Chains A and B, each alone.
Chain A
Amino acid sequence: MSAITREEVAHLARLSRLALADEELDHFAAQLDQIVGAVARVAEVATADIPPSSHALPLTNVFRPDVVAPSLTPEQALSGAPAVEDDRFRVPRILGEEA
């Protein structure tokens, strides 16, 4: 039984903000199904008594003093922006209202 269907890929693509073409959905469904089938092996040894590791080093919160340090100027921060207006990033409409 395949774990990842075409519909599932369409859902993942929506969550991932990827506007995929129809033929891409079929292609990725087959590949993702094969990969997920192979990596599912991790469950064989992941018993309840083993603590998970999110990281290789035993680090906890790393703080710095709360002081102002040099940072990018507005001009530098905006230098790569696709569109700029009044020292701000200009973006397409965000709310769902009709244009």
Chain B
Amino acid sequence: MSELIKKTAAELGSLIASGEVSAVEVTQAHLDRIAAVDDRVHAFLHVGAESALAQAAAVDAKRAAGAELGPLAGVPIAHKDVFTTTDMPTTAGSKILEGWRPPYDATVTRRLREAGLVILGKTNLDEFAMGSSTENSAYGPTCNPWDLTRIPGGSSGGASASVAAYEAPLSTGTDTGGSIRQPAAVTGIVGMKPTYGGSSRYGLIAFASSLDTPGPFARNVLDAALLHEAFSGHDPMDSTSIDQPVPSVVEAARQGDVAGLTVGVVKEFGGDGYQPGVLARFQEAVELLESLGAKVVEVSCPSFTYALPAYYLIAPSECSSNLARFDAMRYGLRVGDDGTRSAEEVMALTRAAGFGPEVKRRIMLGTYALSSGYYDAYYGSAQKVRTLISRDFEAAFQHVDVLISPTTPTTAFPIGERADDPMAMYLADLCTIPSNLAGNAALSVPCGLADEDGLPVGLQIMAPVLGDDRCYRVGAAVERAFEARWGGPLLSKAPAL
């Protein structure tokens, strides 16, 4: 096993820029790692070895020609298979898009290429990013590198597993209700949901457009910030993209300081339904923050307890509309077109064959919540709860700089345990959903291992809209202090694959 795969993205970037190692060597080391472990982890739906080596060679040629390289040029990355890529298939984890080659690149994809990042392949996800375990992928689940019988989180479970298994130092994800932070927490890595509108949705296959947010995964806070900066910023192709400078996240990650900050502990996130080992590690993080000079206070956000039900009305409603585009006419699967059936019959047969059970459930739930007679009671009420949640955040940020909570109520659960119990599965996103509904920034960083099962626990750090830098500043301070205590990154305690 090459030592290169254990290095951080920042280290790899400077080794490549200085010419100590070539981008091709770094890419080959990661491709070798994928070949050695991915039959067990199943993080990737597609590996583009040839195109990755060609991209790496182009970076090396650029350097040889004397060009200045960016901080991540030549660094490999695993790309969630929900972003369009012209040179690789894009499936969103669904049979309805099997083998589809998009005619355009997502803005995130384009910016990765412009930064010289080497795209190794596309990672597995719950179908159309709907789920918390990757078990809803039409192509089979991804396994957690800490324990291959357990889920790696979801929907960006291939993304989290690829980074935790050292198959890539970085990966992209998308977070609609927790799909970056929850997988990061249960695999012992760092995952960031930027402020909504801070990263472009153009070419991101839509699930719930008012919530979907692209963000980075990495094994440390600085690497996550470097990737965040590389693909974020205003995009005229996404009309909900924020036309303001990206917060200075890299600088904040380098500073990592909490002295003088006020940290609010969300009172509503704890107690019944939370695993004791998760609460114990969270309490340690609270004490750690105090020892680092932060003032810690308890904050009540009463509407947060209504976030989960509001989310499971708003997200399915938006999904029922967004997924109407899969109509068997312009791209993707077409089933039953035998010359006798109508377009509508072909559409219904195709969608029944191409979508999995969770996607069907959510489309029908959304159709129900939006239908006349039920709209006010369900979708309308959920939108009001959304207002209340934003107000709770605004009130809290009047007197605290960041809010913290456990990222998830439990550690990684066994594959299959919640597969046919939607309500149990939905609880995985209990603590992450408020920040999607309010659109603010939120980060998950490793917080130790639960005593009862030895599995990773995540600490969630929430900041105001466009306060992404605060997440990184606090996250970096927590990371540095914890790693001093642990004698290295949490991931170094994971069993060898």
Q: Contact partner of B242 among A39, A47, A57, CB < 8 A? A: A57
Most chain B beta carbons < 10 A, residue from A44, A52, A56, A79:
A56
Which A residues between 15 and 40 are near B, CB-CB below 8 angstroms?
15-21, 24, 28, 31-32, 34-36, 38-40
Counted as pairs of residues, one from A and one from B, with CB atoms less than 8 Å apart, the total is 183
Q: Contact partner of A18 among B355, B380, B388, B438, CB < 8 A? A: B355
B329 contacts A41, CB within 8 Å?
A: no
B390 contacts A17, CB within 8 Å?
A: no
Q: Which segment, of B39-47, B362-370, B448-456, B474-482, faces chain A?
A: B362-370
Please report the C-alpha to C-alpha distance between residue A54 and residue B313 in the assembled complex, in whole angstroms: 12
A13 contacts B364, CB within 8 Å?
A: yes
Please report the C-alpha to C-alpha distance between residue A77 and residue B365 in the assembled complex, in whole angstroms: 32
Please report the C-alpha to C-alpha distance between residue A39 and residue B381 in the assembled complex, in whole angstroms: 10
A16 contacts B236, CB within 8 Å?
A: no
Q: Is B259 an interface residue (CB 8 A)?
A: no
Report if A56-B363 is in contact (Cβ < 8 Å); known contacts: A51-B387, A83-B337, A92-B341.
Answer: no
Closest to B380 in A: A52
B364 contacts A9, CB within 8 Å?
A: yes
Q: Contact partner of B349 among A14, A19, A76, CB < 8 A? A: A19
Contact with A along B210-253 (1 / 0, CB 8 A): 11000000000000000000000000100110100000000000
Contact with B along A37-72 (1 / 0, CB 8 A): 011111111110011111111010010100000001
A42 contacts B378, CB within 8 Å?
A: yes
Interface size on B, residues (CB 8 A): 71
Please report the C-alpha to C-alpha distance between residue A66 and residue B240 in the assembled complex, in whole angstroms: 18
Interface residues, chain B, CB within 8 Å of chain A?
Answer: 100-104, 196-197, 210-211, 236, 239-240, 242, 303, 306, 309-310, 312-313, 320, 324, 327-334, 337, 339-349, 351-352, 355, 360-361, 363-365, 367-368, 371, 377-378, 380-388, 390, 422-423, 437-440, 465
In addition to A45-B384, A56-B439, 19 A-B residue pairs with Cβ atoms within 8 Å of each other are A13-B364, A16-B320, A18-B360, A19-B345, A24-B360, A35-B365, A39-B310, A40-B378, A42-B381, A43-B377, A53-B387, A53-B390, A56-B197, A56-B437, A79-B101, A83-B337, A91-B343, A92-B342, A93-B343
